[in-house]
Amino acid sequence: MEAGRRAVTDLIRLFANIPFGVSLLATWAFLTLIGVVIEQGKDAAFYAGAYAPPIARLIVRLDLDNIYHSPAYIGVLGLILCSMTAATFTKVIPRRIPRLNPVKIDAIPLHAQVRVAGDPASVRERIAAFFAERGWQVRKREFGGTEWTFADKSNWARRGVLVAHVGFVVIAIGTTIYWAKGYSGQFSVLSGQTATIPENGVRVDLHRFAYRIDPVRTKSGVVYQPIDYVSNATVTDRQGTPHEAVIRVNQPYDADGTLIYQASYGFAIDFQLTKDGRTIPVADHPLKEGEGFLIDGTSRAIQYTRFVGTIDRVTGQPGADPRPNDPGVVVQAFDGDRPSGSALMALGEPLDLGAGYKLTASRYILYSGFQYRYDPGMVVVGLGAFVLLAGLCISFYFLPARLFVLVRPSDGAGSTVGIAATTVKGYDVFEDRFREIVEALRRSEATADVHEAAPVPALGSAL
Amino acid sequence: MDPTRQLIDQILLVVGIAAYVTGALVLFAHFLLRTPVLRAIGIPLAVVGCVAQFAELGARWWMTGVWPLTNLYGSLSLFSAVAVAIFLLFALRYDLAFVGGPVLALAAIALGYATTWNEGYMPAVPALQSYWIKIHVPIVISAYASFMVAFCVSVIYLFKAWAESRYRARGATVRGAAAGAGGPSLDVAMHAYAATAPGITRTDTPAIADAAAAGDATAQWLAGLPSLARLDVLQYRIIAVGLPLLSLGIITGAMWAKEAWGAYWQWDPKETAALLSWIVYAAYMHLHTRPQLRGTFTALVSVFGFITIMFCYLGVNIWISGLHSYKM
Ligand code: HEM
């Protein structure tokens, strides 16, 4: 029992340790870097092609191809939350919100002594007034018969860390809500056809997809710059009510809380295959880039790789203009799994595949690609993000400082004021300010006959 | 753009680069010679370059009607202009002129490199036709620029700390209670020194101070650099500008992504690389709360942080394609 409790205490101490927390952050950063460098969400064949075989195997086995949703990634985030919580309760709260206690003034690097006229009681009053006037929160306490004066600046800002940590937790909660209750996906629809979002039954009838690409003259020649993509559709919601929708990039359509976005577009192609003049059935729908079909009764397959807007009539190669002027398609032939050749074919012109086969790309139909997402945690994530930002600003731009003041009777006449300062960010950050405060105090007490002022050590430079 | 407008654009660009190059040289000279007149010349040159650059970006916007930050040219121009602006603000507030040389030199390099991406007038692709570009991009670029200035301070910190360790290794005697300065942290040693020797100008580089007192000219020059503690505080303050800006940049980016791509977070390489930098600087802030870790270690983290920023800013665009490459 005792041993168990000790183990828990040790664990909490470990988790609350800043170097431990930072090593978790470093692990998080490292995993994130892997995700940036290794393309995510591809199939095993992609990695086999892109990397040496042992590395490709490692990527797939260790989930590095889907790292952000891997147990390791989520586990590290969970550990960070635990570590942050442990630190918040065992370190941040006690350290950042400390009780008023006496200190050894001379042992604090930022300290000074000012000898002034007057008995300690009256000096204490004057000092309290001095700090209160300058916006310090002054409190007095007695410890063992000695009266101390404490002056705090931006005391409230000590809670900035708490705010930042809470913000992080709120973001984590919002993300979890999405994982638990949200959904997302993508679909594409040919002009004149319909698609249904499986999770909520919302139907999208695409009437027309249009794009605008303009030639722009630049220093290095003409470039074809996309200007607009727009889908005109009827979106039928869960209740069966149709709505006319114009969906553009940056202008999503909200269907009962599920947002539908313009994500991509492409050219679907109707292919026709003949053998010795006889039509052979191929796919039952126009093919999109990347799709293909098997040639019945053979081990051969044809994949539609890419749409070419303009075939240069002189060179017979793809031209720079992506708009369909003299369009064509690039097809890839396979024999079994092995690529057996590729060709660029103009639309409407048959391509001889050998053995009596002829392939024709007869026409293109524009299709529009959409993404959709239902995210009930979004508001929570947004709130968390702003709480986090507020926490950062409070933590970084408001410096909570505490002054400890002890007034004692001097050996001769008058009193000695001992003054020391601490901040939540060490001493160096407050040094200039402390020097100014001591100077101002010394000047304000000058009328009360200053005997001596011990200067604050300076960190000056010649620059 | 008509020729007159093009000429205005060119003139402002040339003025910007020229001011940065000469300003960098003058402020480097100030760094080496400590002559106040050089600072008095260098700072106005920085101001001229910065104003010319903002004017150039503004003029481009006004003349073409297209927001100028839709390509790497505009973005790198803003990066150098904001870096110089942040340097100037800090220089005025904290006497930071000594980092002007490297800051202006990096700004000139960024601007020079930017011109290689200058394709003239280009309308924005659909994904960039959003009011968010006017909010998100300047914020993110300002964050990068802050980290660049912090990086310059960190390099000077590391240089001085390295020089101190060289002098210490050479056997310069360490004075007084600073004898333990080779311990866990210069920061701790400095405080011990200050506590036992109040009233004298304290130094956190006692070996350099001793060698300077013994007449070593290089040490005298080094001793005139700001103390390590001061460099550390400056570096912290600049990162404290950059980190909230980067956070806000990521947040506004997420808001824009929600509108453009359907999800506020897509694990796109660019946004993920920004997250990587954010984590590094968050780690910096945590390390900086511990006196024993504050100093050389945090300066190294700041340098590493800037490397991740450069990776996020340029590396991802060049090596990795994703949604931020603006292909549809
Ligand atoms: C990895 C687990 C974490 C641990 C163990 C941890 C612990 C701590 C501790 C103990 C402090 C106060 C230090 C002091 O007062 O001396 C602190 C400060 C802070 N933490 Fe965390 N934290 C963690 C993660 C995070 C995260 C993910 C964020 C981002 C939201 C964050 C934001 C902050 C901020 C803004 C400060 C104030 C820093 C300053 O004032 O310079 N922390 N943290």
pLDDT attached to residue A166: 97
**Are B287 and B297 within 8 A, CB to CB?**
yes
- Burial class of residue A439, CB neighbours in 10 A (0-12, 13-18, 19+): middle
Distance between CA atoms of A14 and A37, rounded to whole angstroms? 32
Q: Find, among A212, A204, A201, A350, the residue nearest to A279 by Cα.
A: A350
- Whole-angstrom CA distances from A36 to A178, B235, B269, B275 are 23, 28, 5, 10
Amino acid at A293: F
pLDDT attached to residue A157: 94
B199 has pLDDT over 90? no
Distance between CA atoms of B71 and B77, rounded to whole angstroms? 10
pLDDT in tens, A429-441: 898 899 999 999 9
Neighbours of A3 (CB within 10 A): 7
**Are A115 and A438 within 8 A, CB to CB?**
no
- Burial class of residue A397, CB neighbours in 10 A (0-12, 13-18, 19+): middle
Distance between CA atoms of B313 and B292, rounded to whole angstroms? 32
pLDDT attached to residue A264: 86
B39 has pLDDT over 70? yes
**Are A354 and A159 within 8 A, CB to CB?**
no
Per-residue pLDDT, averaged over A142-158, amounts to 92
pLDDT attached to residue A448: 52
B216 has pLDDT over 70? yes
Residue B118: band (very low, low, confident or very high) from pLDDT cuts 50, 70, 90: confident
CB contact under 8 A, A227 and B202: no
B202 has pLDDT over 60? no
Of all protein residues, the one whose alpha carbon is nearest to atom 14 of ligand 1 is: B289
Which residues on neighbouring strands pair with residue A249, listed in sequence order? none
pLDDT attached to residue B1: 58
A181 has pLDDT over 80? yes
pLDDT attached to residue A459: 40
B322 has pLDDT over 90? no
Beta-strand pair A253-255/A357-374 = unpaired
CATH number for A105-154+401-447 (one of 1.25.40.10, 2.40.50.140, 3.30.310.80, 3.40.50.880): it is 3.30.310.80
A-chain residue closest to B96, CA distance: A463
Per-residue pLDDT, averaged over A48-55, amounts to 88
pLDDT attached to residue A399: 94
What is the nearest CA distance from A130 to chain B, expressed in angstroms?
Answer: 24
Neighboring chain B residues of A164 at a CB cutoff of 8 Å: none
Residues 6 or more apart whose Cβ sits within 8 Å of residue B194: A109, A457, B202
Nearest to A225 among B125, B251, B260 (CB): B125
B200 has pLDDT over 70? no
A451 has pLDDT over 70? no
Q: Which residue has the tokens 């405060």?
A: A437
What is the nearest CA distance from A85 to chain B, expressed in angstroms?
Answer: 15
A147 has pLDDT over 70? yes
Q: Find, among A88, A66, A112, the residue nearest to A15 by Cα.
A: A88
CB contact under 8 A, B123 and A248: no
pLDDT attached to residue A2: 82
More confident call, A19 vs A313? A19
Q: Which residue has the tokens 């506004």?
A: B252
Q: Find, among A213, A250, A246, the residue nearest to B130 by Cα.
A: A250
A416 has pLDDT over 80? yes
> In sequence order, which ranges of chain B are alpha helices (DSSP H)?
3-33, 36-64, 72-94, 100-115, 132-169, 186-196, 206-213, 217-223, 228-260, 269-288, 296-310, 316-319
Distance between CA atoms of B84 and A53, rounded to whole angstroms? 48
What 3-state DSSP class applies to B44?
A: helix
Pocket lining for ligand 1, CB < 6 angstroms: A 18, 21, 24-25, 80, 83-84, 87, 91-92, 95-96, 161, 164-165, 167-168, 388, 391-392, 395, 424-425; B 282, 285-286, 288-289
- Which pTM does this prediction carry? 0.86
pLDDT attached to residue A197: 94
What 3-state DSSP class applies to A2?
A: helix
A461 is written with which tokens? 């430079």
Q: What letter would DSSP give residue A90?
A: I
More confident call, B40 vs A263? B40
- Burial class of residue B314, CB neighbours in 10 A (0-12, 13-18, 19+): middle
Distance between CA atoms of B51 and B48, rounded to whole angstroms? 5
Neighbours of A362 (CB within 10 A): 12
A318-323 CB contacts, 8 Å cutoff, 24+ apart: A318/A344, A320/A222, A320/A223, A320/A224, A321/A215, A321/A224, A322/A213, A322/A224, A323/A213, A323/A224
> In sequence order, which ranges of B170-227 are alpha helices (DSSP H)?
186-196, 206-213, 217-223
Buried-exposed string B39-66: b where 16+ CB fall within 10 A, e elsewhere: bebbbebbebbbbbbbbbbebbeebbeb
CA B54 to chain centre: 18
Share of chain B above pLDDT 70, in %: 86
The DSSP line for B278-313 is: HHHHHHHHHHHTSTTTTTHHHHHHHHHHHHHHHIII
pLDDT attached to residue B286: 96
CA torsion sign, A28 to A30 to A35 to A36?
A: positive
Distance between CA atoms of B315 and B317, rounded to whole angstroms? 5
Per-residue pLDDT, averaged over A377-404, amounts to 95
Neighbours of B96 (CB within 10 A): 23
Distance between CA atoms of A171 and B79, rounded to whole angstroms? 30
pLDDT attached to residue A242: 94
Neighbours of A413 (CB within 10 A): 12
Neighboring chain B residues of A249 at a CB cutoff of 8 Å: 126-127, 129, 260, 328
Share of chain A above pLDDT 90, in %: 57
Q: What letter would DSSP give residue B123?
A: P
**Are A243 and A258 within 8 A, CB to CB?**
no
Per-residue pLDDT, averaged over B187-200, amounts to 37
> Any CB–CB contact under 8 A between B217 and chain A?
no
B251 is written with which tokens? 């947040």
Pocket test for ligand 1, best of A27, A165, A171 (most atoms within 8 A of CB): A165
B224 has pLDDT over 70? yes
pLDDT in tens, A205-228: 999 998 888 888 877 778 888 888
The DSSP line for B240-268 is: HHHHHHHHHHHHHHHHHHHHHTSSS----
Give the N- to C-terminal CA distance of chain A in Å, as an integer: 62
A385 is written with which tokens? 């993000």
Average pLDDT, chain B: 84
Amino acid at B97: A
> Any CB–CB contact under 8 A between A375 and chain B?
yes
pLDDT in tens, B241-296: 999 999 999 999 999 888 777 788 888 888 999 999 999 999 999 999 988 889 99
Distance between CA atoms of A340 and A336, rounded to whole angstroms? 9
More confident call, B208 vs A340? B208
Most confident of A155-164, A330-339, B68-77, B111-120: A155-164
Average pLDDT, chain A: 89
What is the nearest CA distance from A106 to chain B, expressed in angstroms?
Answer: 7
B65 has pLDDT over 50? yes
Find the range with the poorest average confidence among A319-323, A345-349, A415-419: A319-323
pLDDT attached to residue A220: 73
> Any CB–CB contact under 8 A between B304 and chain A?
no
A299 has pLDDT over 50? yes
Distance between CA atoms of A315 and A311, rounded to whole angstroms? 8
> Any CB–CB contact under 8 A between A1 and chain B?
no
Q: Find, among B272, B241, B242, the residue nearest to B254 by Cα.
A: B272
pLDDT attached to residue A340: 85
A193 is written with which tokens? 């056809």
Interface ipTM: 0.85
Distance between CA atoms of A188 and A329, rounded to whole angstroms? 20
> Any CB–CB contact under 8 A between B160 and chain A?
no
A458 has pLDDT over 60? no
State in Å: Cα B303 to ligand 1 middle: 20
> Any CB–CB contact under 8 A between B261 and chain A?
yes
pLDDT attached to residue B183: 36
Per-residue pLDDT, averaged over B36-54, amounts to 94
Distance between CA atoms of A82 and A12, rounded to whole angstroms? 9
Distance between CA atoms of A207 and A193, rounded to whole angstroms? 7
Distance between CA atoms of A410 and A117, rounded to whole angstroms? 9
For every residue of A57-79, which 3-state class applies, written as one string? HHHHHCCHHHHHHCHHHHHHHHH
pLDDT in tens, A265-282: 899 999 999 988 888 888
Helix or strand holding residue A164 (H, E): helix A160-181
Q: What letter would DSSP give residue A251?
A: B
Neighboring chain B residues of A378 at a CB cutoff of 8 Å: 258, 264
CB contact under 8 A, B286 and A426: no
pLDDT in tens, B84-102: 999 999 998 887 888 999 9
Neighbours of A236 (CB within 10 A): 18
pLDDT in tens, A53-110: 899 999 988 889 999 999 999 999 999 999 999 999 998 888 877 889 999 998 999 9
